[in-house]
Structure 1
Amino acid sequence: MFDIIHCSLRLKADPTRRVVRPFHPANGSNGSDVRRIVDYVAALDEATAGDELERVLRDFDPRRWQARNMFDARFARIEAELGLGHAGLSEVRRRLIGAFFCHAHGYAAAALTNPGVVPHPDQSGMGRDAVRIIISLRAVGEGHIGSVAFREGILGPGPVLDLMPEPPFATAADGAGDPGGDAIAIHRHRDSSLSGTVLFPMTEAQREGLEDLRLVRFTHDDGAVEWLGTYSAHDGVRRRPELLRTSDFRSFTLAPMSAPAAQGRGMALFPRKIGGRYAMIGRRDNATIVLMTSDRLDAWGEGVPLLSPVHAWEQAQIGICGSPIEIDEGWIVLTHGVGAMRKYAIGAVLLDKADPSKVIGRAELPLIAATQEDHEGYRPNVVYSCGAMRHGEHLFVPYGVADSSVAFGFVALGELLAALK
């Protein structure tokens, strides 16, 4: 096994973590419930409306600014969508109407897992040996709904991680688009930090969850930088690959991809084009990792086989963790393997830099494997990562443990490269 520098810090599922989410009535298309509630609030006298709003806000104390802002935003959306024409309502009544179309959701009550990491777009104030980062997480809460949460932090100097504090109450990103359609635009609330923002399912295809976001900092041919993330949208029956795009982590677009070679989970983009084409690795089945190339980010073909199981610890299943990591020697790709008793491990391979269809190195032993302490949890015997990044002479690897907590480790690049030859 590798000599991993483990951080003492762990993130865990937390039933106290709540988020204010928009509530959409079941018959929202015709607006009957919405209009009934608006008419009810409009008929209240000002004192009664004020007392009712105060009772609602007490539930969110001391975070009233977030609740008020969400209530205001929800009223504005309801008014715009249905043309209510209640612009003359007092601020109290507008907020109370907005409150009827929000709800609190325990977004990380069941599990917090499958992390990935990318450099933060804001590197102001960072010294040469430190970098600000964004950790993405799969949070599972009420109703087994999967969402995307974030934590901001700083790596370094050296193999050290410090996480920024998260606010006591999170806010759901809101969006525009047809919930029954495909592409949708969502926006972080102007007063919410990224560490206090959660991305929830918003379309029918996403209804049961957004799963396993694999982010990468992508550099386009003209030098423009964008953060791209592949993930799996789940409607309760089927999963389909989708793509998240953002340049600032304030505004995001979510849209489906066509990728017959990897219809389930496990697709990760290279951080730049290879030979003039976009490139991505994915899992075709439990025994085949493929390399795909395309002229478009939203359409991918079958790809060519790249890896299959070799070692005992990956015979039951093999897949990829996150995006390939570019170093002088080639592309490091972290894989996940499943062995006997469904025990998970994280391995590594090295691909040729100019032609990533060539595997030039493969570690015989896993970097990280489930241990005795990982036998209990939401999913026992699981260690799983959705992306690592280079930091100086180390590889920083966040990984989920039994789908119940998130751990962090640093692997020395020199030791890893020696094992890949």
Structure 2
Amino acid sequence: MAIPVNRTNIRIHPDYKKVIARFFNTGNERSLLIINKVMQMDDKDAEIVLSNIFKEFSNRYRNIYDIFLKHFALVKDLLPLNEQHAISEKKLLIGAYFTMEYSIEAAALFNPSIVEDPDQGGAGAGQKKVIVSFRATGESHISSLVFKRGLLDENGMIHFEPSGKYISEGIVTQQKNDNKLAFEKLLTQMVLPEDIYPTILKQLQDPFSYKEIEKALKNALLKIESATEKNKIKYDILSMVNTSYEVHFPPESLLSERVIFPVTLTEKNGIEDARFVKFIEDDGSFTYIATYTAYDGSFILPHLITTRDFCDFKVAPLHGRAAINKNLALFPRKINGQYAMISRIDGINNYIMFSDDLYLWEEAILLQQPKLPWELVQIGNAGSPIETEKGWLVITHGVGPMRKYCLGASLFDLDDPTKELGRLNEPLLVPNEEERHGYVPNVVYSCGSIIHGDKLFIPYAVSDHASSFATVPLKELLEEIINSN
């Protein structure tokens, strides 16, 4: 029996007008030339240029003044100390020359997940306030994480609050949590050019932060002409240090104005496919946790985001032999005293993992293998498991002929989720004619669903370009899964 799937008429498209102000890195040599040209400008001319910049761009940002100062600070060390103090009247203009706008959604807005809003104030009977996260992709296919706040009504339709005007990356902070002596021992195990080793160490405090080692490497590797060699040394060294950081947004900012943009080298090409879940602790308190894939252009690493209010976020990498590949999704509570995670460590099959430590995953148990025609290439999760009275409901994705992605569903035992109770024989959601076209054709994909009333509400991506939504009657879905076993 085919499960009735009700597609909404809502389609969320990328908005190329959503821009952030990024640092425009021209390299040290060109940067110094630009600074010197600004310094040679007549003061009156410089004042006119800066005034025109403010007229054109200040209404696009809450704090463009602070942005220019921040970007000036990133280049001022190129000058001798005595000259740094002499250019105070032109520092804003210099900062403007090292600023560029980046359209965070220029290419796509897709792979959504959904969780219950921590603030349910204002929700009426049969309604639920929700937060939907999206993968936003812009120029050079760099992905970041954005949000929308919405309301699910009594009929299962979603209504979003208007998007904010000012997009912000927030304030990034990093604790000094790397021990210099331990790091020095690791460096001795590497084959490095002779003068790099002491140049790095003399710039570091004890302890030091990720940002400090990045700055030290920038200076230490200046003399290496080969870009390939420079990047390899940089990546090898940075992979040995702690990449944790925090992002803080002003409480008065709208959720839709907040973007978590790549911060560290390990994620410089993308924060991909965040799967958010409301994690309930043993004492009843809760934290919102998301797994995501950090991509540096060559390698992928699983990371974790935690937040209580979607205003302050903590980001850290996962460790262990099983913390590899994509498609990790955390269960919403501990099972038999342990954290549990669905994963796909080999790129083909679904696995399940258990751990006493949220950030350390050593073992993976094979859970599901592709067996049906529409999933023969690979099977993976489409978000965190959802607890129901019949078992753990896992929405899956399967890849079949012509690399077509469909959504399926499986059920696992509540007390022992290594036991599969059933799996749909037919796809739950297949790309229809209108959904087949996009950046990656023939794809429907989700990073998390939610139960609302008697329905399962499924946000899903449309061919890696836009996002849409569907509902499924929960009772019928669970019965069909059990009967298909």
**Shared fold per TM-score greater than 0.5:** yes
Deviations 1:391-415 (A, max 9, x none): 1111111100111110111111112
Q: What residue number does 1:142 align with?
A: 139
SS in 1 for 2:415: coil
Counterparts in 2 of 1:386-397, with a 5 A limit? Answer: 386-397=447-458
2:151 paired residue number: 154
Alignment-derived partner of residue 17 in structure 2: 16
1:164 paired residue number: 161
Q: CA deviation at 1:47?
A: 4.8
Structure 2 unmatched ranges of 5 or more: 175-209, 215-240
Give 2:119's aligned residue.
122
C-alpha contact (below 8 Å) 1:57/1:64 kept by paired residues: no
In the other structure, the counterpart of 1:309 is 370
Greater CA drift, 43-52 or 134-143: 43-52
Structure 2 residue aligned with 1:342: 403
Q: 1:364 to 1:197 in 2, by over 3 A?
A: same
CA contact (8 A) 1:21 1:172 kept: no
Q: Percent identity?
A: 38
Partners of 1:84 and 1:226 in 2: CA distance: 46
Aligned 1:370-385 pairs, distance under 5 A: 370-385=431-446
Which runs of structure 2 are paired with 1:198-277 in the superposition (5 Å)?
A: 198-261=259-322, 263-277=324-338
Cα distance in 1, alignment partners of residues 34 and 118 from structure 2: 42
Bigger mean CA offset, 316-325 vs 9-18: 9-18
Superposition map of 1:46-57 within 5 A: 47-57=44-54
Does structure 2 conserve the Cα–Cα contact (< 8 Å) formed by 1:5 and 1:159? no
Give the alignment of 1:341-420 within 5 angstroms: 341-420=402-481
How far apart are 1:173 and its partner, in Å? 3.0
| Corresponding residue of 2:6 | 5
Deviates more, 1:380-389 or 1:127-136: 127-136
Query: Following TM superposition, by how much is the alpha carbon of 1:259 offset from its aligned partner in structure 2, in angstroms?
Result: 4.4
Is the Cα contact below 8 Å between 2:61 and 2:167 reproduced in 1?
no
**Hey, what's the Cα distance between the residues in 2 that align with 1:151 and 1:218?**
20
Distance 2:41 2:120 in 1: 50
Distance 1:38 1:157 in 2: 59
- Greater share of helix residues, 1 or 2? 2
Q: 2:271 & 2:466 partners in 1: Cα distance?
A: 18
- Over residues 231-266 of structure 1, what are the superposed CA-to-partner deviations in whole Å (9 max), with x where a residue is unaligned? 111111110111111122122121111243352210
Distance 2:257 2:80 in 1: 31
For the structure 1 residues 82 and 414, does the alpha-carbon distance in structure 2 shift closer, same or farther, using more than 3 Å as the test? farther
2:416 corresponds to which letter in structure 1? D
**More deviation, 122-131/156-165:** 122-131
Report the structure, 1 or 2, having the larger strand content: 1
Query: Which letter maps to 1:17?
Result: K
Output the amino acid matched with 2:163. Answer: E
Distance 2:78 2:159 in 1: 43
Amino acid across the alignment from 2:386: I
Which consecutive aligned stretches of 4+ in structure 1 deviate over 6 angstroms post-superposition?
Answer: 32-46, 76-90
**Structure 2 SS opposite 1:306:** strand
Q: Which moved more, 1:136-145 or 1:124-133?
A: 124-133
Q: Which 5+ residue runs of structure 1 have no aligned equivalent?
A: none
Q: Secondary structure at the match of 1:387?
A: coil
Alignment check: 8 A CA contact 1:14 1:109 kept: yes
Deviations along 1:16-73, whole A, 9 cap, x unmatched?
Answer: 332223445645xxxx887887787678776544422332233336335343453455
Measured in 2, the distance between the counterparts of 1:278 and 1:175 equals 28
| Contact 1:346–1:367, Cα closer than 8 Å, also in 2 | yes
The verdict on how the C-alpha distance between 1:381 and 1:214 changes in structure 2, with shifts beyond 3 A counting, is same
Alignment of structure 1 residues 57-206 onto 2, 5 Å: 57-60=54-57, 62-71=59-68, 95-177=92-174, 178-179=210-211, 180=214, 181=241, 182-189=243-250, 192-206=253-267
Contact 2:456 2:474 in 1 (8 A): yes
Counterpart amino acid of 1:194?
L
CA contact (8 A) 2:32 2:78 kept: no
Matched position secondary structure for 1:62: helix
* Matched-pair contact (CA < 8 Å) for 2:280–2:332: yes
Structure 1 residue 364, shift from structure 2 partner: 1.6
> Retained in 2: the 8 A contact 1:21–1:171?
no
Question: Alignment RMSD, CA only?
Answer: 2.9
Native 8 Å contact 2:323 2:360 kept in 1: no
Letter in 2 for 1:8: N
Q: Would the aligned equivalents of 1:66 and 1:171 in 2 still touch at CA under 8 Å?
A: no
Paired residue type of 1:151: K
Larger Rg: 2
Letter in 2 for 1:275: N
Is contact 2:58-2:64 (8 Å) kept?
Answer: no
User: Is this contact kept in 1: 2:322–2:345, CA < 8 A?
Assistant: yes
